[in-house]
Structure 1
Amino acid sequence: MAGGDERVELKFRIFDGTDISHSTYASSTTIATLKDRLVAEWPQDKTIIPKSVNDVKLIYSGKVLENSKTLAESRILFGDLPGGVITMHVVVQPPLARKKTDKNQEEMPKQNMCSCTIL
């Protein structure tokens, strides 16, 4: 892919099936920039609202996209879908929720495990 002039139409689907921030983006747009825009445009009537870019994960083709990469580096299809819109899924996971999950796993007592093999 040459240059940053290639553009792709994206929409972002959140947990309840609502699409937000439908627009056209350049291939040189970073994932962090997309996340920043999503946080700014997040519908305030939702039960889960991200507070920062770090609370948001973008998923495309089953892969979590990295903040430092551009759309082109993330292998987003440019021009393969004439007139098509690419949907990315948005997952909100605040750092607090992750810490609680990690803590709960550490607090669980280790159980003796046995395995049986039937021949």
Structure 2
Amino acid sequence: MPEEDLIELKFRLFDGSDIGPIRYPPTSTVAMLKDRIISEWPRDKKIIPEVANDVKLISAGKILENNMTVAQCASSPFSELPAGVITMHVVVQPSSTKTKTEKRIDESPKKTACSCSIL
């Protein structure tokens, strides 16, 4: 694939640090990007995603679906800037955190209090 056909992306993490920029073919999918992010994730971070479903990518204010290609993601007004690096924001939502939160909500006893006064 010619070098000029590749799209340059970087991924902004929650603390402001970046992974990349890295050049990708336009046919790469968001799922492939997520796998690459997980493999290159800095191990000194407090939050480390374990699987691709723990990661959400946001580009131009939209959450990207796993089946989208880089070419589809890059087709925004911002990507028409010449020789620009496209920045995608990374949000991590580990599935273990979701289940712990759900359990806490489900297991909490319902408190019913009566505020009636009998005179």
TM-score scaled by length of structure 1: 0.76
What is the CA-CA distance between 1:54 and the residue it aligns to?
Answer: 1.1
Asked if the contact 2:49–2:94 (Cα under 8 Å) also holds between the matched residues in 1, the reply is yes
Distance in 1, matches of 2:82 and 2:109, equals 55
Question: What amino acid does structure 1 have at the position aligned with 2:28?
Answer: T
Distance in 1, matches of 2:59 and 2:106, equals 31
Match of 1:72, SS?
helix
Structure with max Cα Rg: 2
Distance in 1, matches of 2:81 and 2:110, equals 51
What is the CA-CA distance between 1:106 and the residue it aligns to?
Answer: 4.4
Distance in 2, matches of 1:62 and 1:107, equals 35
Asked if the contact 2:74–2:86 (Cα under 8 Å) also holds between the matched residues in 1, the reply is no
Asked if the contact 1:6–1:27 (Cα under 8 Å) also holds between the matched residues in 2, the reply is yes
**Map of 1:52 onto structure 2:** 51
Distance in 2, matches of 1:79 and 1:100, equals 39
Distance in 1, matches of 2:63 and 2:79, equals 22
- 5+ residue gaps, structure 2, are 112-119
Alpha carbon RMSD of aligned pairs, Å? 2.4
**Map of 1:117 onto structure 2:** none
Judging changes above 3 Å, is the alpha-carbon distance between structure 1 residues 85 and 74 closer, same or farther for their aligned structure 2 residues?
closer
What is the CA-CA distance between 1:42 and the residue it aligns to?
Answer: 0.4
What is the CA-CA distance between 1:44 and the residue it aligns to?
Answer: 0.6
Asked if the contact 1:21–1:41 (Cα under 8 Å) also holds between the matched residues in 2, the reply is no
What percentage of aligned pairs have identical amino acids?
Answer: 54
Give CA deviations for 1:61-116 in whole Å, capped at 9, x if unaligned: 111111122122335449611121111000111111122333444456889xxxxx
**Map of 2:64 onto structure 1:** 65
Question: What amino acid does structure 2 have at the position aligned with 1:92?
Answer: V
TM-score scaled by length of structure 2: 0.76
Question: What amino acid does structure 2 have at the position aligned with 1:45?
Answer: D
Distance in 2, matches of 1:71 and 1:62, equals 15
Asked if the contact 1:8–1:79 (Cα under 8 Å) also holds between the matched residues in 2, the reply is no
Q: Which has the higher helix share?
A: 2
Distance in 1, matches of 2:18 and 2:75, equals 18
